Structure 1
Amino acid sequence: MTATARETVPETGPSCLGSEPPGRRERKKQRTREALINAAFTLFAEKGFDATTVEEIADAVDVSSRTFFRYFASKEDVALTFQEEQVRAVASVLAARPADEPIMTALRRTVVEIARACEGGELGFDPGRFECMLSMMNDSPALMAGSLEHAQRKQALLTEIVARRMGLDPGADLRPHVVAAAAHCGFQAAADAIRRKGGTFATLSEVVDQTFAILESGLNEPPPPGE
């Protein structure tokens, strides 16, 4: 059956009467989007990011490439949905931290919690996808470039979140910008250390904890023993 034929098969049920229940269309779109993400990560794990094509992802869900591009601009966008989920988790977890916690302490505990959730399959994260993402970042310069661009775009959002927590106006105070930039660089440094697979680094959450401990204690001195 051709892709066109597959996509024009009429549904049975109430929608055929012209009175589709509210929300059904959106739920169907969400299911298709999730199916494309699932298929993509399955193929990424089997073949690698660069060897996987948009056509293969679409075929795995039994839709056309045209349908794929209704949901994603590229296969990089599919892979980076995991990074998008991490950004949303940062906003949620950071907002729940105690209000009297210093900002770098709150960021450190937030990012470590999310890294551990990714590794352990908590907060809705899939550890298999997490491992796949780390592997792809190491193997694909194109995806790494896309990841860095995505993170750069999201830094403005992190700046706003930090500014609200600090009670500052980011248009008049540089501190939220500096804190957000430091957090961004800290996480990238930790991820880079893991990707290089050198030294004694074990898990991303452990390296993130060490990295943010350095930021929290200040860059002029090493962190206290045990930090």
Structure 2
Amino acid sequence: MPAAADPRPGTRQDRRKAATRAKILDAAERLFDERGYADTSIEDISELADVAVRTIYMHFPTKAAIMLAYFDGWVEAFVGEVKRRPLDEPVVESVREALAAMAEAGWVDRVENEAVRVHPIAEHLASGAPDIAGHILQRWMREMEEIAADARDRGAYEPGSLEPQARATAVFASWIAAMSVARQRAMNDERVTIEQVDSGGLGVLAHITGGSL
């Protein structure tokens, strides 16, 4: 008698691959936060994730690909949350609520609230491999186009209005400001918490959108 069909989507092998990939990404993110990108090796990730080094290379060709995979997933989820916010809401509030939704979904651990090293994404924006910084910028340019298109679709803007693009640019400004806060604190040998990074980005965005500059 044949086995009953598994009601969950995807094959068992697909689910195993997805679970292994998630373990690798989780281990890498923890190590990047604790040690920094440069001081984390593939072997370190292998040990924490409890998978073989060759298994990691089956999923990711390089260490940079691991970091960028997490970034791509994060920014996609973040922009998705921003697009769920009402257009008549001040953009600083939209970003604040999007970050809160991200934390609730598990993208950011706010429970222990431990100070951590600057995230490698911030490190690579001003130094490190140019191809990583280029990937980040290109991805954000595509996401800004998505935010602007969403605003045009949902809003009653006059033809040629710059407001949808301004909204998209403001969201990016909040992220780049948060990364700048993280980097500056790290350069001053200060430990930085997630809350300090987020509040720094939101504070800069409030100045921009409030017309106080």
User: Which band: TM-score by shorter chain?
Assistant: 0.5 to 0.7
Residue 94 of structure 2 corresponds to 110
CA contact (8 A) 2:34 2:116 kept: no
Of 7, 10, 23, which aligns to 1:35? 23
Deviation at 1:154, TM superposition (A): 3.0
Write out aligned runs for 1:59-208 (5 A): 59-99=47-87, 101=88, 105-106=90-91, 108-116=92-100, 121-127=103-109, 132=116, 134-137=118-121, 141-142=127-128, 146=132, 149-167=135-153, 173=160, 175=162, 176-197=164-185, 203-208=196-201
Partner of 1:6 in structure 2? none
1:55 Cα offset (Å): 3.3
Consecutive unaligned residues of structure 1, counting only runs of 5 or more, are 1-13, 223-227
2:104 alignment partner, SS class: coil
Name the structure, 1 or 2, with higher relative contact order (CA <8 Å, separation 6+).
Answer: 2
Aligned length: 193
User: CA separation in 1, counterparts of 2:25 and 2:114?
Assistant: 13
CA deviation vs aligned residue, 1:171-212 (integer Å, no higher than 9, x gap) = x958344543343234212320232127xx971222222222
Contact 1:90 1:110 in 2 (8 A): no
Determine the C-alpha separation between the residues in 2 that align with 1:165 and 1:130.
Answer: 36
C-alpha contact 2:148 2:167 (8 A) present in aligned 1: yes
TM-score (norm 2): 0.68
Measured after TM superposition, the shift of residue 213 of structure 1 is: 1.5
Q: How many Å apart are 1:93 and its aligned residue? A: 1.9
Return the index of the structure with the highest Cα Rg.
1
Whichever residue aligns with residue 68 of structure 1, its letter is I
User: C-alpha separation between the residues in 2 aligned to 1:33 and 1:133?
Assistant: 24
Q: Percent identity?
A: 23
Root-mean-square deviation (CA), in Å? 3.8
Deviations 1:49-105 (A, max 9, x none): 212222332354454444323322322232344433432233332232224x16xx2
**Match in the other structure for 1:57:** 45
User: Which region of structure 1 is more displaced relative to structure 2, 59-68 or 71-80?
Assistant: 59-68
Structure 1 residues 91 and 182 mapped into 2: Cα distance closer, same or farther (>3 Å)?
closer
